[in-house]
Amino acid sequence: MRTQVAIIGAGPSGLLLGRLLELAGIDTVILESRAREYVLGRIRAGVLESGTVELLERAGVAQRLHEEALIHDTCGIAYAGGHLSVDLRGLTGKPVIVYGQTEVTKDLMDAREALSMYEAAGVQIHDFDGERPRVTWTGGSLECDFIAGCDGFHGVCRASVPAERIRLYEKTYPFGWLGVLSDTPPVSEELVYVSHERGFALCSQRSRTRSRYYLQCPLSEQVDEWPDERFWAELRRRLPEALATRLVTGPSIEKSIAPLRSFVAEPLSFGRLFLAGDAAHIVPPTGAKGLNLAASDVHYLSSALIDFYKGNEEGLKTYSSRALARVWKAERFSWWLTKLLHLFPEEGQFGRRMQLAELEYLAGSRAAQMALAENYVGLPY
Ligand code: APR
Ligand code: PHB
């Protein structure tokens, strides 16, 4: 079998890249190790930058999004008696869009006409330094012009690069996020990020009838130690009173713990192999940047590949540096917001007072709110 671009991974990166290339008349094959239903069953992020939405529009998959997504002009931060509502649209002219990554994935899968192979076991990539890269898996092989490594943090593509040719930057955080999805109305119209003595909490949502909540928890914790009643009671304790009294609880329909990590691989291109999305970088979820960074990588990579087939190789040469310039800024923002809002017992009382002083400063300074807002709605491509 032969194709122009072999895409490894059918997460948002691989599917969006495949769709944009398909529309440009470029032949692609997607190879995914999991079943389609498994990929669609993963509950992930839910906040889109307007740049991501524009890309989904270009990909022709934004129709349901425009019908169902919620537009958020503000985002809230609650802390020690204070509540700040950041006027995203007033400060930047842009809102953020609430629409689940699961829905984005479904829309992209439904639109794809070219070949996708799910449950491809033992995928390996070969000869990406030469003119004729190859991909093999149990029972098959594929020749191609390029390989797009869209296979997430644990994928095979980044792992296939010799250690001396790649530099990895990593920071782990000593806690995770325990997330619950429930068919209950969101406690607040805006998303609320909560900095509390007992740990961070986040009130998010997927629709007017479906909520997504998170609690900072120790990494040692197990999901089965958190029956629904314990989760709701702990969330209520961390919420400001006005929200705690309004909280509607119900059975969880998904519950999971995710560790927090900052990670960047450099560079993102190795001959004819290009990394994009979680395969190349991870952000802690606090800034809602994971999916949006995957989209901006795909923006740069898809236009570079389209240019290549029109005879211009410049975009492929600069893909890594252009994508990474934006990635590092989002890494900084996600790290900063994580440090501002979470409980770090090892930082002691002084550390906590510094957080509160910074939150008070944020509440009283238009300049500080502007810095937050322009990053939260997404820096320009
Ligand atoms: N062979 C084939 N497919 C693989 C392999 C492999 N060896 N390893 C991993 N995959 C698949 C995974 O099963 C997954 O479906 O690659 C896909 C990677 O998808 P994601 O992890 O979703 O990564 P990405 O598409 O870059 O999406 C960006 O945004 O909200 C964030 O982290 C969140 O997933 C999200 C990300
Ligand atoms: C979510 O809804 O899952 C979500 C929202 C905002 C974040 C992280 C996750 O910062």
CATH number at residue 320: 3.50.50.60
Per-residue pLDDT of 105-147, as tens digits, reads 999 999 999 999 999 999 999 999 999 999 999 999 999 999 9
**What percent of the chain is modeled with pLDDT above 90?**
99
Is 177 among the domain residues? Answer: no
What is the predicted pLDDT for the residue at 371? Answer: 98
> Does 27 score more than 90 pLDDT?
yes
Residue 355 three-state SS: helix
Is 178 among the domain residues? Answer: no
What is the predicted pLDDT for the residue at 125? Answer: 98
Element (H, E) at 146: strand 146-149
What is the predicted pLDDT for the residue at 289? Answer: 98
Paired with 332 in beta bridges are none
What is the predicted pLDDT for the residue at 163? Answer: 98
Is 242 among the domain residues? Answer: no
Active-site residue flag, 317: no
Is 126 among the domain residues? Answer: yes
Is 255 among the domain residues? Answer: no
Active-site residue flag, 251: no
> Does 352 score more than 90 pLDDT?
yes
Which entry of 173, 193, 214, 319 is annotated as an active-site residue?
193
Cα atoms found within 13 Å of the Cα of residue 12, Cβ hemisphere only? 29
Best residue among 177, 204, 283, 334 to mutate for probing ligand 2's pocket (most ligand atoms within 8 Å of CB) is: 204
> Does 242 score more than 90 pLDDT?
yes
Active-site residue flag, 169: no
Q: Tell me, what DSSP letter sits at residue 2?
A: B
Q: How confident is the model at residue 81 (pLDDT cuts 50, 70, 90)?
A: confident
Q: Which of 240, 329, 233, 327 is nearest to 277 (CA)?
A: 327
Domain count, the chain: 1
Ligand nearest to the CA of 102: 1
Per-residue pLDDT of 255-265, as tens digits, reads 999 999 999 99
Do 277 and 263 meet the contact criterion of CB atoms below 8 Å apart?
no
| Strands ordered across the beta sheet of 74-79 | 82-87, 74-79, 192-195, 201-205, 211-217, 167-182, 252-266, 281-282
> Does 298 score more than 90 pLDDT?
yes
Per-residue pLDDT of 32-72, as tens digits, reads 999 999 999 998 999 999 999 999 999 999 999 999 999 99
What is the predicted pLDDT for the residue at 282? Answer: 98
CA of 210 to the centre of ligand 2 (A): 13
Average pLDDT, the chain: 97
Q: Give the chain's length.
A: 381
Do 217 and 256 meet the contact criterion of CB atoms below 8 Å apart?
no
Active-site residue flag, 118: no
Best residue among 214, 257, 286 to mutate for probing ligand 2's pocket (most ligand atoms within 8 Å of CB) is: 214
Index of the ligand 1 atom closest to the CA of residue 276? 26
What is the predicted pLDDT for the residue at 67? Answer: 98
Is 212 among the domain residues? Answer: no
Residues with CB under 6 A from ligand 2: 45-47, 191, 204, 212, 285-286, 288
User: Domain range for residue 129?
Assistant: 5-45+101-170+261-338
Q: How confident is the model at residue 224 (pLDDT cuts 50, 70, 90)?
A: very high
Is 11 among the domain residues? Answer: yes
What is the predicted pLDDT for the residue at 241? Answer: 96
DSSP string, 45-92: --EE-HHHHHHHHHTT--HHHHHH-EEESEEEEEETTEEEEEEHHHHH
CA distance 217 to 178: 6
Is 125 among the domain residues? Answer: yes
Q: Distance between terminal CA atoms of the chain?
A: 35
Per-residue pLDDT of 274-296, as tens digits, reads 999 999 999 999 999 999 999 99
* pLDDT mean over 213-241: 97
* pLDDT mean over 3-15: 98
CB atoms within 10 A of CB 234: 17
What is the predicted pLDDT for the residue at 114? Answer: 93
